[in-house]
Amino acid sequence: MEYDVCLLEDLEVATAKRFDIEGLRLAVVRLQDDQVHIVDDRCSHADYSLSEGELDTKELTLECWKHGSAFSLLTGEPQCFPATKAVKTYETKVQDGVVKVFVDE
Ligand code: FES
């Protein structure tokens, strides 16, 4: 299924923002222009919000502020401990200024 998340203009460049859509908690990252990535907002180590963590626009990671695991925006895999499980990544696109997410049923 495809869902509207937000307007692209709602996202500042080089930031992450949380959106709750259809029971999912998503960390939506805008790198530049209309380059957007979406991963699960909930850290795989404990229930902390990745969108409140630090974004690395070169490494393409989002770092959990609680214990420092950095997750790849491309694969969801943690790049360092203590997290050992990936967070889910979502297919996304920007269409007519609207950020969309694709969710498996
Ligand atoms: S809660 Fe995210 S690394 Fe521990």
For residue range 12-38, list pLDDT tens digits in order. 999 999 999 999 999 999 999 999 999
Nearest atom in ligand 1 to the alpha carbon of residue 48 is 1
Q: What's the mean pLDDT in 54-62?
A: 98
Contact of 27 with 16, CB cutoff 8 Å: yes
pLDDT reported for residue 105: 75
> Encoding tokens for residue 100?
């969309």
Peptide bond into 82 cis (omega under 30): yes
Nearest to 58 by CA among 45, 40, 43, 70: 70
Considering only residues 105 and 91, tell me which one the structure prediction assigns the higher pLDDT. Answer: 91
Query: Which CATH code of 3.40.470.10, 1.10.10.10, 2.102.10.10, 3.10.350.10 fits the domain covering 2-94?
Result: 2.102.10.10
Any ligand 1 atom below 6 A from CB of 64: yes
Nearest to 26 by CA among 45, 6, 9: 6
Residue 96 CA to residue 84 CA, distance in Å, equals: 37
Residue 5 CA to residue 75 CA, distance in Å, equals: 20
pLDDT > 80? residue 47: yes
